[in-house]
Amino acid sequence: MTAAPLPPVAPEVTATLVEDLSPRLRKRLDAAVTKLGSRPTHRDGDTVTIAVDDDTELRLHAPGGVVATVDAITCGCLLAPACVHRAAAASAAPAADPAPEPAAEPAAESTPDAAPDPAAQPAAPTVPDSTPPPNSTPSLGDTTPPTAPALATAPPSTPVTVPAPDEATPAQREAAAALWSAGAAVLEAGVAGAGAVAQAALLRAAHTARLRQLPRGASAALSVVTLLRAARAGDPSYRTADLVTALAELLGTAHRVGTASGAELAAVRGRARRPYSPDGSLRLYGLFTEPVVTDSGHGGARTWVVTADGRLCTVGDVAPGGVGRALGVADRTVRLGDTALTHRELGRAGLAVSGATVSPDGRLGAGKGVKAVTARGAAWTEPPLAALWETPPAEQAARALRSVSRYAEPGGGGSDLLFLDIELLGAVGESGGTCLLARCDGGVPVRLAVADDDPALAHRDNLMLLATAPGTRLRIIGRLVPAPHPRLTLLACSHPTGESTVDLGFDRLSRADLPDPGAPVHSAPDRPGGPGAESPLHLLERRVEQTVPAGRAALGMLGDVTAEARRLRRAGLPTAAGLLTALRASAARRERDLFGRLLPADTDGFAAHWLAATRYTASVAESLCAAAWEPGPAVPTHGPTEATAPRPAGSPR
């Protein structure tokens, strides 16, 4: 038999199979999942078969590529259908995304051999109402913990009332409460304790949320499940920070369903699909093309174009295939109307499009009604492209930061690209390797990092070659990397000779393209004590992250945090100190009854403390990033005070 991947299983199928197990079999479920993962599998049409042992086979029938019903998983053992094998197979398989509503217009990526772009910037949630604002300054002794979110539910005995149109329904509040409880249980147990049973609870909550028109919460729950499975399987691409963000998204969204109204509620509910709206006739000017290679094995290209009024749009082609496909797609015809331009050609040419459709994030649709013909492009120094470089770097960074913020409001739009005129200063070493140091307008030093280290792409070689030409002035395009210092991944630049542009992922520069050697070597501008210098915010961040792998109890046993809280207060971060103290106290707190027996832990209260700390650290980190791009005198060496940090959206004034 040859190994075959398991087909995705609908969340409600996995949840039902796990819920139907007896308590004894639930205890054996995680071991059964691990055992099935090592058994041989093979595919025959729409059916994948797992050899449980020499005499028993388990079958997953997936018409259309997804296991959609409980009966589609069958087992040949004597205990079937009440055996543990069916639930184990469903728990080992990927969770299927809910079937979206038909889109108004297919994306350019949604072609027969292309999947939706998995590298697209995900929509992220807003700071919950329980998050203390970074500029609040409680007294040094104030360690009162934040109040746990009160998620309203509608018990069966409660009379049903018709809510106002801009309020959540009782059913939605009940679904949000289930999402909160499932997320809080994961935080209580940690990755080590969040096995198949906890994941099934998340899948059930996700399914219920989707049925009750809460697609954003459902998507967050599925993300948590996917990351939990990656963590437990030892997936090398897994990062604890990703699970922290996903859990905070889940808990924050669930909490806000019960308190939001109007436009905020619409954002909290989310959208089940990406709508494409008609945009009439567009005149597009090519900007550059970048390779797209994801950890999930997808590859392709994305070409950025600009409309006549200065809007950024993209045309992409991304599908399974990795870096090899990315290199091939760059020279493949763009799927937009009848144009014969390739992606790399479009990056330097133009298009006249009629019947255009555009998604909120700027993706151009490729429906049957779209017509496109080749037109003249524009140089980066000509309108409308030249206007992109006229905005001050600090304003561009603030806009990009709003786009990449972990907790930005969905549908907020914006791009994470920056357009800068720079002078190269040379290479500078870092703990993770070498990057290129440059100086942009206002004297702000910027670190330019490699966008993708894959040796098949040209990013690394080009950056190292540019590092040998200090003093060279370039016009560049980069993607913001949130950090306490100005940092970009370098995507495209003007040719050192000034004759053209360079797509740094595809085009390879040579030494002959560089100016004559002998240009003066510049050192990095001296900005001692810049934004974020010696900021002890990491003391709170690491406690937030430590909770996720090992759970609440492990955090409670980490010892006293008085010294860490004192250091945060001395650095001008009293709210961080209060959050750290309250988080540690909540993790260690266990009440006893009159007979001295331990009562159940307050999982909701701890989740509220953790969520507040998570959102706070993200908000302050983003304020450090924004401040780093400001030209002029440096801020004090102890780092930013909370009074300089922006107030998170949704926080009380």
β-pairing verdict for 473-480 and 371-375: unpaired
Give the pLDDT confidence score for residue 517 in this predicted structure: 57
Whether 257 contacts 172, CB under 8 Å: yes
The distance in angstroms from the start CA to the end CA of the chain is: 64
**289 beta partners:** 303
What SS3 class is residue 597? coil
Low-confidence spans in the chain with pLDDT less than 50: 1-2, 100-164, 518-532, 634-653
State residue 300 phi and psi, 5-degree precision.
170, -160
In sequence order, the β-bridge partners of residue 450 are 490
Please give the pLDDT value at position 369.
83
pLDDT of 297: 76
Pairing of strands 501-503, 487-494: antiparallel
Residue-level pLDDT at 139: 31
Cα(126)–Cα(123) distance, integer angstroms: 10
Question: Which of 4, 33, 23 has its CA nearest to residue 91?
Answer: 33
Residue 75 has a pLDDT of 94
pLDDT at residue 165, rounded to an integer: 55
**Maximum Cα interatomic distance, the chain, rounded to a whole number of Å:** 84
pLDDT reported for residue 273: 65
Burial 310-319 (b: 16+ CB within 10 A, else e): ebbbbbbbbb
Q: What count of Cα atoms within 13 Å lies in the side-chain half-sphere of residue 322?
A: 6
Pairwise CA distance, residues 71 & 246, whole Å: 31
52-73 burial: b if 16+ Cβ within 10 Å, else e: beeeeebbbbbeeebbbebebb
